Structure 1
């Protein structure tokens, strides 16, 4: 059976390689704007991941296990997705400075042969140190922040901003491997 990652994320691809040797990537073109945030981040990211996985289901013919995932940063009652520009990225990072924020990832696994679907989400809390405007500007100029929820990647230079983490590190990167591993095993995937 084919295993398919429904994501264009290079980080998710690299993480999935840690537990699965042979998989394909089919990028989802699911319109995330169709899903409205209703106040529950766990449900929100699961709905987004399900939309991505179902979108890829329509593109495959062979029996497959499809992995959909979505990650958001949540702070002060707001979902921080990928910033639209560097100005928005600066504002996000300035707000996160010296504060604790939450990172949520939703996972949806679909077995197209059995039509079985499993979903879950993972929540991690991240505390940033106080960071200066100059540090933020330097970081934005140094890294591609526009493709990252909350405008940062814990695995890149932003690691120096992180004072403390409570929960799964890989969730913050974008693919909670521990949870994914056990869901795949439940779905009958031999890893």
Structure 2
């Protein structure tokens, strides 16, 4: 059986390696902006994960399981995706500081040979401490905000501002390992 990760995310690749299953990377070319947010973050990330996995699955044949994933930060009723620039990252950090927010990851598994197409989502609550403008500016100089939903990675410099989390730590990194492991075992893809 062949496993394909439909993601260019280095964090997802690192996390999937921890499961000790061989996999290939085929990056999805699905346009995420084509999916509108209808108010439910869980449904939204699941749909994005399915669309990414589907776009890769359509190009493959044989006994292949495609894993698609998407992660968003949901704060104050709005989705915080990847910041467009430093100013956008600053806006996000100002919004997150001193509050709780929610990190949603959607994961899709598509296996055409078994007619399987399923998706799930996991949510983790993250509590940021208060940050003054100097702390935000210092954080932004590290450029870790680039290419990260909500302008931060829990495993990086922003970690010093996180008071606590409730839920799966790896979900905040972009791939809820325990739930993915459980699903892969449930479908007998791994032992």
Bin for the TM-score computed over the shorter chain: over 0.9
Tell me if the contact between 2:144 and 2:153 (Cα under 8 Å) persists in the aligned partners.
no
Task: Please give the root-mean-square deviation of Cα atoms over the aligned residues, in Å.
Answer: 1.0
Measure how far apart 1:143 and its partner are: 3.0
Question: What count of residue pairs does the alignment treat as equivalent?
Answer: 191
The equivalent of 2:128 in structure 1 is 128
Q: Which residue of 2 aligns with 1:76?
A: 76
The equivalent of 2:64 in structure 1 is 64
Deviation at 1:127, TM superposition (A): 0.4
Cα separation, 1, equivalents of 2:20 and 2:110: 16
Contact 2:144 2:157 in 1 (8 A): no
Counterpart of 1:93? 93
Q: Give the alignment's TM-score, normalised by structure 2.
A: 0.97
The runs of 4+ residues in structure 1 deviating greater than 3 Å are none
Matched, 1:104 2:104: yes
Alignment partners' CA distance in 1, 2:188 and 2:73: 31
Gaps of 5+ in 1: none
| Distance in 1, Cα, partners of 2:19 & 2:177 | 8
Unaligned runs of 5+ residues in structure 2 are: none
Q: Deviations over 1:3-48 (max 9, x none)?
A: 0111000000000000033110100010111111001000000000
Question: What CA distance in whole angstroms lies between the structure 1 residues aligned with 2:141 and 2:187?
Answer: 42
Quote the offset at 1:112 in angstroms.
2.2
* Partners of 1:23 and 1:66 in 2: CA distance: 9
TM-score, scaled relative to structure 1 = 0.97
**How far off its partner does 1:135 sit?**
1.6
8 Å CA contact retained: 1:118, 1:183? no
1:26 alignment partner in structure 2: 26
